[in-house]
Each structure stands twice: as structure tokens, then as C-alpha cells.
Amino acid sequence: MRFSRPNLIKVTVFLVLITTVFVGGWSIGVRTQLAKHGLIQNNFLYPFLTKESLQAKIKKLKSAEVYSFNQNEVNLEGFNEPVVFDYAFDPSIQTVAEDLLNQYKPDLGAMVVMDASTGRVLAMVGKNRSFDFEGNPAFEESYPAASVFKVITATAAIEGQKAQPSSVIPFAGRNYTLYKSQVLKERVTGWKHFCTLKEAFAKSLNPVFGRLGVFLLGKEPIESCSNKFWFNGNIPSEFPIAESHSAKPTDDYELAEMASGYTQYNVMTPLHGALIAATVANDGVMMEPYFLNAAYLKSGKPIYRSEPNVLSKVMTPETAAEIKSMMRETILTGTSHKAFHGFFKGKFSFLDVGGKTGHLTDKNLKGRIDWFVGFAQAHGRKIAVSVLTMHKKYWTVKSSYLARKTIETAFAPKAVAKK
């Protein structure tokens, strides 16, 4: 049968449409089946692992080397050849973090550095010399968050319009104690002190934050804010991260302990500390952390690739700006003032830096905790730093100092030029 030219064109178009529908349906079917098994399909029909399915496979690995990031080649379930990990770490920052912990030898040390804008983990190092547990201390244990939790309380207060950095809050007694007489009486009696919320944050005054929690905020806003910061949640990542948890207060005094961080029941990982600081630096947006740029079969076939992904919007940019201002004050006049002495007079004077410290005895591990979580930013680049050191008898170094040296490395002229 012969077709006229117009009819031939119609038949051709019809066949193309039928083929497109068939291939499209087949493609959807393939993607559906792959999705059921934790896989997605790229443009070249290679099966890609999702972040969740990759984590599930990594969980089954027994090698401690994997969790110290010294092993690039691993055997994952479901693949008949080795898988090669392309880590996202910045070599210069990773090296200086390892060198600092090796040089100062705290009984336990963990350092995490993160790109606040993307979630890329630039460095992650953990060293445990004296405490009875296995695994990488940077993300396999949860430690009392101590006064770092004041970031959450301050965010709840500002976001809920209950206080501002300039708000004056009276209290009685010493700066770092938390007696019931200081936080359970609404009317302050005795020798009164007056300070702003910014000053209380920078100097980490426990009674102020205890009273803020009891009389201005209440339990629900603090719990809600801690959940926004991903306490009590499983943070998505290629590697399994221990969950951080906020306290569950049953009375006003326990609420005061929670709000000030003066409790064993607010616990977090060093990685989570970096996420908290990164969220503040990133105008209130928390990004998913990622350790790998990609993963490949040894033969070269890609099976996983990372992309920056928003985890949640924790606070408004306006609130984040207020928290930043208080974290800057910690560096300028507060608990990290000595560690950063002279920092802004030299070649790093162009940097915008802020932080929060925390100190508490971990009653489980029997060691004295020293936290620093903070940010540094300049010329459109934002990083977050989380440092935890823990000592039994003798202190060898302050976490704030380790953070300073790490920031200097990250923003050294050569390092910046490489970026």
C-alpha cells in the first residue's frame, strides 16, 4: 500500500508517539522498581544509591577504618566489586585538625568543620585516648551539650519575640551556679545583678538563661525549637550519626537546667554542634551534611553522588542575625576572648567570627567537657567549626584555641586561593 506524503507524515508521527509512550512507561517502571530497593536511575541508566540506602549498607560494615575515614575502598553488600569513596574533605583542614589533636593530646578530642552554605563536611577527626567506648568520637557518642544549648534557648526567645539581645534580665547570686533560689522565684531578691541577654550569652550566665526558660519561655517553645535544630531526630547522612537529644523537664527547676544547658540530659554529637553553628551562619537554613562527593565501583561506574540539600529552615534570617551578634560577643568580650586575643589585629582582621562555649562534667564518661561551636565567614564563604575536648585530670588545650587555629588554616591566603 502506498501512502501519500501527508498520510506518511501522520503515520510516522503516530509511530513516534507510540514509541515514546512505550519507552516512557518502561522507564517509569524501571525507576519504580529501583526506588523500591533504595535506588534511583541516572541519565545513563546506572543504578544510583540513595543517601538512606548507602547509609544502611555502611552500617553493616565492621571495619573501624571506615569510620576514621582512612579507607577509601570498601566492600558493600549487593556489589560484586569494591566501592571507592570520594571523600568531600578539604585536605589542608583535615590535616591540621588531625595534627592539632595529635599535638595537644586531649584525653578525648573531636573536631568537625563544615561548609555552612552547602553542608559539605570539610574535616572530621576524632581521637579517644582514655575513655571506655569504641568508634569515632566525632559522631558515634553523644555528650552533654552544656552551654551550647543556650543557642537553642536564645533562638526560641528571639524567634518567639519574648526577648531581644538588648533585653535586660535581673538575677541574683553567682554567674555560673543554678540554685533553685536563683531561678524559681519570679521576684529577684537579695543582691541583684542586671545584664542584657547578649552579655549573658557571651559570658554564659546560667541563672539568666534559667530564668528566661522558666518565666519568659516555658517548656513547649524550647522543646519545639530544639526539634527544629534536629535534636531528637535522625540527621540524614551517608554515615550513621548518633542522635542528639534534648531534656524532657518535669518541673520548673529541670526546665531551668534545660534552658541553661546545666544538665546531663541535653546531649549532642560534635557533628551536630557544627550543624548548629552552620545554621546560624547560613541565615537560619540547616543543610544536610555530606561526607562524600561521590562513590564509584572500582571499575569506574558511579553509584552515588552528593548534592547540597536543605534539611530545614530553623529560624528567620532576622533571628539568625541576632544570634550571630551574640556569638560575636562571645569572641570579643565573652568566654572565648582569651583564645582569640589579637586575632582581629592581624591578617585575619577581615573575618567575621562568632562562637559559643560550653563546660560541664560528663557523669557517664567521668570527664570534664570543653565545647566550642562557631562560625567564620568572609567574601561569601561561610564555615562552621565544632570542637570538643574532654580531660580527666589535666587540661592540655582549650577547644576555643583549636577552633581558632582551624579557622586560620581555612582562611589562610593559600587556602582561600585554592577555593
Decide which of 249 and 43 is more confident: 249
User: Which CATH code of 3.60.9.10, 3.40.710.10, 3.40.50.300, 3.30.360.10 fits the domain covering 91-290+308-418?
Assistant: 3.40.710.10
> What distance, in Å, lies between the first and last C-alpha atoms of the chain?
67
The confidence band for 315, taking pLDDT boundaries of 50, 70 and 90, is: very high
Q: How far apart are CA 39 and CA 97, in angstroms?
A: 35
Task: Give 13-45 pLDDT, tens digit per residue.
Answer: 445 455 544 444 444 444 444 444 444 444 444
pLDDT at 387 over 50: yes
Task: Give 324-345 pLDDT, tens digit per residue.
Answer: 999 999 999 999 999 999 999 8
Q: Is 412 exposed, middle or buried (0-12, 13-18, 19+ CB in 10 A)?
A: middle
Specify the pLDDT at position 38: 45
According to DSSP, the β-strands at 292-297 and 285-287 are unpaired
CA 46 to chain centre: 32
Specify the pLDDT at position 46: 45
Q: Which regions of the chain carry the CATH code 3.40.710.10?
A: 91-290+308-418
Specify the pLDDT at position 47: 60
Specify the pLDDT at position 180: 96
The dihedral built from the CA positions of residue 42, 35, 67 and 356, taken in this order, carries a sign that is positive
The confidence band for 133, taking pLDDT boundaries of 50, 70 and 90, is: confident
Q: How far apart are CA 184 and CA 155, in angstroms?
A: 22
Specify the pLDDT at position 11: 46
The confidence band for 7, taking pLDDT boundaries of 50, 70 and 90, is: low
According to DSSP, residue 130 is labeled S
Specify the pLDDT at position 12: 54
In the predicted model, what is the mean pLDDT of residues 271-299?
97
Choice among 78-87, 134-143, 194-203, 228-237 with the minimum mean pLDDT: 134-143
Q: Which residue do the cell numbers 573531636 mark?
A: 110
The confidence band for 140, taking pLDDT boundaries of 50, 70 and 90, is: confident
Q: How far apart are CA 3 and CA 353, in angstroms?
A: 76
Decide which of 116 and 132 is more confident: 116
Query: In whole numbers, what is the pLDDT of the chain averaged over residues?
Result: 89
Specify the pLDDT at position 191: 78
Q: How far apart are CA 237 and CA 17, in angstroms?
A: 41
In the predicted model, what is the mean pLDDT of residues 134-145?
87
CA 257 to chain centre: 23
Q: Which residue do the cell numbers 566550642 mark?
A: 372
Q: What is the signed CA dihedral for 28, 32, 34, 39, rounded to 10 degrees?
A: 100
